[in-house]
Chain A
Amino acid sequence: MGRKAKFDETKKVKKGPGRKARKQPDPVFKKELLEDDTETKKLTHRQKQRAAKRAKKKADLIEKKKSLKLAKKNVAKQNEKVISEEIADASDEENVKGFTDDNKQWLKPKQKAKPKKQESESEEADSGHEESEMEQDSDAADEEEEEGVKTDGEKYKVGTLDDLFQDSDQENGDVTSEDEGQASAKMDYNSDSSEEKSDDDDEEDKDDDDMLPIEKANIKLKKKQKLEKKLADEEMQLNIAKQDVFAFPSEEELENPTSLQDVHQRIKDVVTVLSDFNRLKEEGRSRCEYTDLLLKDLCTYYSYNEFLMEVLMQIFPVQELVEFLEASEIARPVTIRTNSLKTRRRDLAQALINRGVNLDPVGKWSKVGLVVYSSTVPIGATPEYLAGHYILQGASSFLPVMALAPQENERILDMCAAPGGKASHIAAIMKNTGALFANDANKERTKAVVGNFHRLGVVNAVVCNYDGRQFPDVIKGFDRVLLDAPCTGTGVIAKDPSVKTTKDQKDIQRCFNLQRQLLLAAIDCCNAKSSTGGYIVYSTCSILPEENEWVVNYALKRRNVKLVPTGLDFGTEGFVKYRQHRFHPSLKLTRRFYPHTHNMDGFFVAKLKKFSNVIPEPFKDEDDEEEAEKKETTETAQNGESESENVTTDSKQDIKNTSVKRSIESTNPTTEPQKKKNKPDIQKRPETTANNENQQIKKNKKKRNRKNKNKQNSDTAGSKQNTSQNGAAKNEQTSQKTTKVNKKDKKGNEDSPKPQQPAKQSPGKKPNKVNKNPPTTQNPTQNKNEGKITNKVEIEASKKLKNKFNKKKKQIGQIKGDKDKGNPKQGVNKKFKKK
């Protein structure tokens, strides 16, 4: 019993008596007992109003009946005259202005009487009563007319009254006389009542006799409403005008900002204008001007640099952008993760509550998370914390591990583990079985990993310190790989506001290049044949598509992986389109998390499944690859980051090598037709351009300087040379192309020496190292074009080629000797032939 402890000051305890002390309500008396009071009571205002309403209804009904009668009559065989007269009468009735004075005197109380009567009846009043009342009333009306307007005669009566028996009344004098008697009685009664009421209503009635008070009130009300509406409309117009009035600030105003409040107001205004641009824009201003203004204002107000703000504006619609920026100013709630190796969430929560910590489960989606609202003790130094019962971890950091869904006895790699939060989560889910490799590139930070692992009681882990990109060389065959890649941190601006000002295009490029390489390395580390796994989870704490969707898209093209649902039932879908980019449609399966919608750090999670360990040969990619390549080379050249470049080239070359090997195995038998195919290409070659050559030479030099890779570099250089001559710039990257080129050259020389003289010049400038190429590596290059050639053609071509080879062996040698003296290419060709 008793109330729950209220640790939260924000929730107030209700005051006053509790539920059980409820008071006895006031007694309720029966209607009958109260009747005396009500009878003597004067009518309340409401009652009067109701009565008036009823009267009006009645009057309306009568009129309706009249008109109905009229219609009937018309239909019946009444002559026109009669009808016209009746109409006139009816109108008389309606207007009730044609009465003589004497009539008026006794007519008035009658009208008054109607409501009064009803009022008296109102206490028992039912809808059923009304009819009878109406009959009575109509009777009364009859009498009025009979007596007052005798001259009108029968026709009038027939016209005004609807009921049949009333018609009969006229015909039967007796009945009418009876009626009269009744009416007079009524009149007496009514006159009495009128005396009571007349004091207040009489004057008005005289003004417009037939107008009921309710009608008047109605008219008044209508007038009032009209007026109000008019005013409201005017106001609205005014408002619109005001919005419209948002004046685009002048140059001077922009140069001399007054205060942040003004800037904030202007942001709001511009956002509203942009939300309904067509209507609210200032004449002669384009959307660009508004967005530029908004950009500047947002930069000043939230202190971002313009580049980052521009990028953010491209991601979010304006309204959402402001929300995002606001949310990025506020820190996310502190969350902790229960270490399920040592304790249970309920026990931990109880222990912490006893220490004066106010907390709650983080949500239905997690069984280990707790949100800490307030605490009287430092949450990172309680004995529970030191004993490893929990770890401080952002809610968003649970997501990649949940997506990874580790199983017991698996081998799992966390590539960028420091400080070990996610890795220890993995170990906890695995229950300390299997093997967990926690890698981080930063040696200092690995200490935190070790500390956390020991504190949390993780015993199945190996902590190592490699560059993630080299990891496939160390150990492969993991069942699952988690890559929480280093990023610009645009999702955690609340944690680290320096992101706002320090990031620029170069940083982002550097980041996503690294991320791409890391992701490829992570995929290579994974074992597709694993019975339980073969999954890779890629996550970043950035919201930029360049670092997320684009990176995943890149990996999709280069490795045998596919996207699978992350298993997270919330979060927004990843982008499929972003500006000029069109990503693979399955990128919908990735998940994005934003600070303003999910109240956690901005985050991105993608889950990939590897379906084959084979590394597909690298292929040209119109936009991505070239861009990336260019960026990389330029960037590294500028920054002098020789280290990273070496590493990147390393990894690339590894990839190339492996692919080459594989393709050798598969494509040996089909080399011949390829030769045929290449012929036309060669013939189409344009004359060599001096520029190309120069560039190539430069490249070659650069690459030759690097250790280890001389051979392959020269290969690629050669390939670049030739392919560029062919006008196929796409082929630049692949090493296979180089071999292809070699072949082309050879054949070109062999087949048609004369037209190819220009072509020969370029190989002439190739470095000597080309010679060292083992001829076998040439084969794989032809994979791609094979499909285009039919079998018959292949066979024919091969035959022809063989013949030609035999015939022209000598010739070619001679030609070569004539044209390019001291050309190393010659040697190459000879070697090939021998083969």
Chain B
Amino acid sequence: MKVLSEERTRILFEKLTKYIGVNVKLLIDRPDGTYCFREKKDRVYYISEKLLHLAQTVKPDNLIAAGTCFGKFTKTNKFRLHITALTYIAPYAPFKIWVKPSAEQQFLYGHHIIKSGLGRITENTPKHQGVVVQTMSDIPIGFGVAARTTAECRSADPLATIVFHQADIGEYIRSEDTLT
């Protein structure tokens, strides 16, 4: 559990800002105590200070995880958000997209969202904006990047991709080993 370097912190926050915008602040300034980001084996964990103190008693070799894993730094030093970060991203994300029940399963198997599966979309979603994908009953099931703006979606072809898939909760089953 080590503190993130300057550069990595910057990369991490840039990435997070794509999804939750200015709400990143809320992750740091929380009413219920201080929270921080810590790095372990390139994985980034979001953890409260209190818990961190306790977790530091555990030897690094024996510590598997603490708090919530947000993602990992790749070998090329880019940050990749994991689906495990959804717990924190979903409530703060300003741009959301809802998929029809018929398209849920498609998305959960790792496919992009096409126009025919689109249920609702937040107004004024810009292109390449990070969006959280939800079912029609408001259960967050993943996130991705908007391939088109809201306006473009209206006139899009039914088979056109609206959202590029990045992570979905199906990964909990598909790739449990590589999650953290």
Contact = CB atoms under 8 A, between A and B. Distances in A.
Interface of A: 351, 381, 383-384, 386-389, 411, 435, 437, 443, 446-451, 453-455, 457, 459-466, 474-475
A459 B54 contact: no
Interface residues of B, number: 35
B67 A459 contact: yes
Query: Top 8 A-B pairs ranked by shortest CB distance?
Result: A386-B169, A454-B84, A463-B64, A462-B66, A451-B176, A463-B65, A462-B55, A475-B57
12 contacts: A435-B54, A447-B179, A450-B65, A454-B84, A454-B179, A454-B180, A459-B67, A459-B68, A459-B87, A464-B58, A466-B58, A474-B59
Interface string B51-92: 100110111001111111100000000000001100100000
A325 B67 CA distance: 44
B180 to A, nearest CB: 5
Contacts of A466: 58, 62
Nearest to B88: A459
Contacts of B84: 454
B173 A386 contact: yes
B66 A465 contact: no
A454 B135 CA distance: 19
Interface in B94-116: 104, 108
Nearest to B53: A435
A462 B179 contact: no
Given A462-B54, A464-B63, A383 B108 contact: yes
Contacts of B20: none
B140 interface: yes
A447 B172 CA distance: 11
A729 B145 CA distance: 75
A437 B54 CA distance: 9
B159 interface: no
Contacts of B2: none
Contact of A386 (B51, B57, B62, B108): B108
A459 B65 CA distance: 10
A461 B63 CA distance: 11
A416 to B, nearest CB: 14
A315 to B, nearest CB: 38
Given A386-B141, A462-B51, A449 B87 contact: no
B66 A463 contact: yes
Given A386-B141, A387-B140, A449 B64 contact: yes
Contacts of A437: 54
A435 B58 contact: no
Interface string B32-50: 0000000000000010101
A351 B173 CA distance: 21
Nearest to B57: A475
A109 to B, nearest CB: 94
Contacts of B50: 435
Given A383-B139, A387-B169, A449-B64, A475 B54 contact: yes
Interface of B: 46, 48, 50-51, 54-55, 57-59, 62-69, 83-84, 87, 104, 108, 135, 137, 139-141, 169-170, 172-173, 176-177, 179-180
Nearest to B135: A383
Nearest to A343: B139
A678 to B, nearest CB: 44
Given A451-B176, A454-B87, A387 B62 contact: no
Most interface-central of A411, A443, A454, A475 (chain B CB within 10 A): A454
Contacts of B65: 450, 453, 461-463
A462 B55 CA distance: 6
B57 A474 contact: yes
B51 A435 contact: yes
B169 A383 contact: yes
Contacts, number: 94
Given A462-B54, A463-B65, A381 B135 contact: no
Given A447-B176, A454-B69, A463-B64, A387 B58 contact: no
Give the dominant DSSP class at B's interface.
Answer: mixed
Contacts of B64: 443, 446-447, 449-450, 463-465
Given A383-B135, A475-B54, A475-B57, A465 B176 contact: no
Contacts of A449: 64
Given A386-B108, A457-B87, A462 B58 contact: yes
A352 to B, nearest CB: 12
A454 B62 contact: no
B142 to A, nearest CB: 9
Contacts of B170: 386
A389 B135 CA distance: 14
Nearest to A355: B101
A466 B61 CA distance: 10
B176 A448 contact: yes
Nearest to A446: B64
A435 B169 CA distance: 25
Contacts of A474: 57-59, 62
Contacts of B63: 462-465
Given A447-B177, A466-B58, 17 more contacts: A386-B169, A386-B170, A386-B172, A386-B173, A411-B54, A446-B64, A450-B65, A450-B69, A454-B84, A460-B67, A461-B67, A462-B51, A462-B63, A465-B63, A466-B62, A474-B59, A475-B58
A448 B140 CA distance: 22
A426 B83 CA distance: 23
A460 B51 contact: yes
A386 B142 CA distance: 10
A807 B67 CA distance: 70
Contacts of B57: 474-475
A459 B35 CA distance: 11
Contacts of B139: 383-384, 387, 389
Nearest to B171: A386
A451 B54 CA distance: 21
A386 B173 CA distance: 8
A703 B170 CA distance: 54
A342 to B, nearest CB: 9
Contacts of B87: 454, 457, 459
Contacts of A411: 54
Most interface-central of B55, B59, B62 (chain A CB within 10 A): B62
Given A463-B66, A475-B58, A383 B141 contact: yes
Contacts of A455: 169, 172
A572 B68 CA distance: 40
Contacts of A465: 62-64
A443 B65 CA distance: 12
Contacts of A388: 169
Contacts of B59: 474
Contacts of A457: 87
Nearest to B105: A383
A48 B141 CA distance: 84
Most interface-central of A351, A459, A460, A461 (chain B CB within 10 A): A459
A575 B67 CA distance: 41
A474 B54 CA distance: 10
Nearest to A459: B68
A383 B104 contact: yes
Nearest to B55: A462
Contacts of A387: 139-141, 169
